A and B are shown apart, each in its own frame.
Chain A
Amino acid sequence: MSEENKKKELLEVKNLNVRYKSGQATVYAVNGISLELEKGQTLGLVGETGAGKTTIAKSILRILPDYAIETLEGEIYYEGKDILKLSDKELQNLRGHEISMIFQDPMTALNPVKTVSSQIAEGYRKHHGCPRAEANRKAVEMLEMVGIPGERADEYPHQFSGGMKQRVVIAMAMACSPKLLIADEPTTALDVTIQAQVLDLIKNVKEEIGTAMLLITHDLGVVAEVCDKVCVIYAGRIVESGSKEDIFDKPSHPYTRGLFAALPDLDKDVERLTPIEGLLPDPTVREDGCAFRSRCPHACHACREFDNELRELAPGHYTRCWRGLQDRED
C-alpha cells in the first residue's frame, strides 16, 4: 500500500465508499474497501447477494448508475492512475481496452437489435481505429475462440441460448486483450451443466491472453478452481482476505467459516448443512461495531465496541474480527 508498491500492482483500490440513494434513505453499499491485484493474478470476491460485490466491480469501470449514486469516494489506481479522477475521454480509452467486464446476466447484457459480431467488433474498432472489415474479422475470430462457429456471427442475440450468449459476452470482453478482466458472477445465470464449460472457457482465455482477473462470485467452488487470492465481503466490507490457501485451509472470520459450513461436503456424512442464520443487516442503517454480530455464533458485547479494523493473522492473511480465530474448531 506504500508508494513503491503502487508500481507493482495493476489495480489498487483504496478505501472505496459507495452510497446509493433509495427514496429518502441512504444505502451504504460499499464501506471502505481496499484491495490490490497484481498482473496476471486472479482475485476472488466472495459474499452473499447484496454484500456489495457488483458495486465494487462497477466502481472500477465507473459504470454505476448515475441517478442512484449518492457518493462514490476513495481511490482506484489502475497502473498508477486514479480511475475516479480520469476524464470521460481517458475513461473511455480504458474501458473495454485495458479493463473489460463480463456481466452476470447474458440475457439482458446484449443488445437485442444488433448482430453479435457487430457488438463484438464495435469495441475493437473503437480502440484500434481499424476499418470495419478488419474489426468484423476479429469478431469472427473471437467467436471461434469461444467456441461459436463463425457462420453464426451475423445472428442476433435472441437466436442464441443462455450459455452461448455468455460466450458472446466473453468474446466481447476479450476482443481487445484487456489487462484486467472483471467477471461479475459469470456463471450464475447459467444452467449448472453449462457453468463448468463457461468457467473453463474464461480460465483458458484468460491464460491465453495473460489477463488479470477480478472474479465475483458467491460460489466457493468457483473460487477454489480459479483464484489466487480471495476477499470475503460482508455488508460492504472485506471481512477476510488472503491467499486461496489461507482462506480455504485456515478460515478465521466466523462469516467465512459459516460459508464453508454451509457447503455440502462429500467426505463427511452429515444429516443437514449448517446455514448461516439470519439476514444481511439493513444497508440503510449505519451501526458501530461488527456488522456480522447479529448472526455470529461467537458474538458478545465486545463485538459492539469493535473498531472494524483488519487484523493481520499471518503475512497477507487479514481478518476483520477482534478474536482473530486461528484454528478451526469443527
Chain B
Amino acid sequence: MSRVENVGAEKEVGKEKKHGGHGKMGRHGGRGHKKSSESLKPGSLAYIWHSISHNKGAVMGMVLIVLIVLLSILSPYLCRWGYAELDVLNAKSGPSLTHLLGCDELGRDLLSRVLYGARYTLYIGLAGTALSVVIGVTLGAIAGYFGGLVDSCVMRFLDVFQAFPQLILAMAFCAVFGSGLNNCVAALGLTGIAGFARLMRANILRIRDMEYIEASVSINCPTRKIITGHIIPNAVSPIIVEIAMSISRNGLASSSLSFLGLGVRPPYPEWGAMLAGARNYIRDCPHMVIVPGVFIVICVLSFNLIGDALRDALDPKLKK
C-alpha cells in the first residue's frame, strides 16, 4: 500500500495553458495590456473587490442589503404610518394608495411593519453570527492548534452540538432561554458554534503543517503571536464566506422560530411573527402572508448571493 506522494508540484504541469491564467498572470501584470481580473494578484484586496464588483449577483445582493438597511432605519420617517399605528377602518384591506402593501387584521400598515421588521432579522442575523464566530473560531483555533487531548475534548463537545438537527437545537435553546429578541440571538448564536469551530479547526490543521509556521517556531516566536500573526490571517477567507452564509441561515431560522412563537413574539413586527399572525387570515387576506415572506426571501437571497461571490473571489481555483 505504499504511495508516492510527490505529485503536488508536478500536478500543475498537466494543466498546461488551461489554467495559465490565474497563477502566472501576476508576473505579467506589468506588461501594460488591459487590466483584467487575471492581472491582479489572487488574494489581494483589489482582486477580491474586482471579482465581487464584477459579479452581477453580488452587486444585486449588496444593493438590496443597503436598501433594506436604509429603509429599515428610515422607515419611521419615510412611512406615513407608524409600525404599530392602528387604522381600524382599513383593517385587512389589500394594497391601495393609502397603504401600499395593505393592512393587517388590526389595520396596521404592512409596509411600515415589514420595513421596521427588517431590523429584527438583520440584528438576529448579525448578532447571532457574531456570537457563533467569536466562540466557534476560538474553539476551533484552540482545538486545531494544540491538537491531542484538547482537540479530542473540543471535538466531542462539538459532536454533542451536532447530534441535533439545527432547527431542533435552536428550539431546545429557545426552550431554555425563553422567547424574546436577545434570547433568540443567543439560541441561534450557540447553534452556529459547531459549524464555525469545525471549519476553523480544519483550516488550522491545513495551515499548521505549512513551512512558514515551522519557520516561526524555529525562531522562537511566541505561540500567541503565531496564532494571531500567522494562522488566523491565513485561515480567515473560508470563515468570511461562512459568515455571509450564516447571516442568511440565521435570518431564515429566526423567522422559523418566531413563527413557532419561540423567538420574537407579536406585536413586534418580526417577519416570522407577522406570518404566524397572518396565518389565521390566509383565506381572506393573502397579502398578509405574501408580503413578509417576500421580504424574508429578498433578505436571505442577498446574503447568499454575496456569500457565493465571496467564495468565488477568495478561492479562484473553484471558479468555473
Contacts and interface: CB of A to CB of B under 8 A. Distances in A.
Do A and B form a real pair? Answer: yes
Interface of A: 20, 22-25, 27, 29, 49-55, 65, 67-68, 103-105, 107-108, 159, 161-163, 184-185, 188-191, 194, 236, 279, 282-285
Given A49-B12, A189-B6, A190-B4, 13 more contacts: A24-B38, A27-B18, A29-B18, A105-B7, A105-B11, A107-B7, A108-B11, A161-B4, A162-B4, A162-B6, A184-B14, A188-B13, A285-B31
Given A54-B16, A67-B320, A162-B4, A282 B10 contact: no
B3 interface: yes
Nearest to A282: B28
Contacts of A25: 21, 36, 38
Contacts of B24: 50, 279
Nearest to A190: B4
Interface in B289-305: none
Contacts of B7: 105, 107, 162, 189
A189 B10 contact: yes
A50 B17 contact: yes
B4 A163 contact: yes
Given A23-B37, A105-B11, A283 B17 contact: yes
B33 A22 contact: no
Contact of A49 (B4, B16, B36, B37): B16
A50 B16 contact: yes
B79 interface: no
B25 interface: yes
A56 to B, nearest CB: 10
B320 to A, nearest CB: 7
B8 to A, nearest CB: 10
A65 B31 CA distance: 29
A113 B24 CA distance: 34
Contacts of B320: 67
A68 B3 CA distance: 32
B3 A22 contact: no
B27 interface: yes
Nearest to A18: B17
B2 interface: yes
Given A105-B7, A190-B4, A191-B4, A282 B25 contact: yes
Nearest to A51: B16
A49 B11 CA distance: 11
B38 A52 contact: no
A105 B14 CA distance: 8
A285 B33 contact: yes
B1 interface: yes
A23 B38 contact: yes
Contacts of A53: 16
A23 B14 contact: no
Interface in B14-70: 14, 16-22, 24-25, 27-28, 31, 33, 36-38
Interface of B: 1-4, 6-7, 10-14, 16-22, 24-25, 27-28, 31, 33, 36-38, 320
Contacts of A103: 14
B13 A104 contact: yes
Given A22-B38, A163-B4, A282-B33, A27 B10 contact: no
A6 B1 CA distance: 48
Given A23-B38, A25-B38, A284-B21, A55 B4 contact: no
A300 B3 CA distance: 50
14 contacts: A20-B17, A23-B36, A27-B17, A65-B18, A108-B11, A159-B1, A161-B4, A162-B7, A236-B17, A279-B24, A282-B25, A283-B20, A284-B20, A285-B33
Contacts of B28: 279, 282
A188 B10 contact: yes
Nearest to A104: B14
A71 to B, nearest CB: 13
Give the 6 A-B residue pairs with the shortest CB-CB distance, closest first: A162-B4, A22-B21, A29-B17, A54-B16, A282-B28, A104-B14
A159 B3 CA distance: 8
Contacts of A194: 4
A163 B31 CA distance: 42
A20 B20 CA distance: 10
B21 A49 contact: no
Contacts of B6: 162, 189, 191
A241 B1 CA distance: 43
B2 A161 contact: yes
Contacts of B14: 54, 103-105, 184-185
Contacts of B37: 23-24
Contacts of A29: 16-18, 20
Nearest to B29: A282
A25 B2 CA distance: 42
Contacts of A190: 4
Given A52-B16, A161-B4, A282 B11 contact: no
Contacts of B19: 22
B129 to A, nearest CB: 31
Contacts of A51: 16
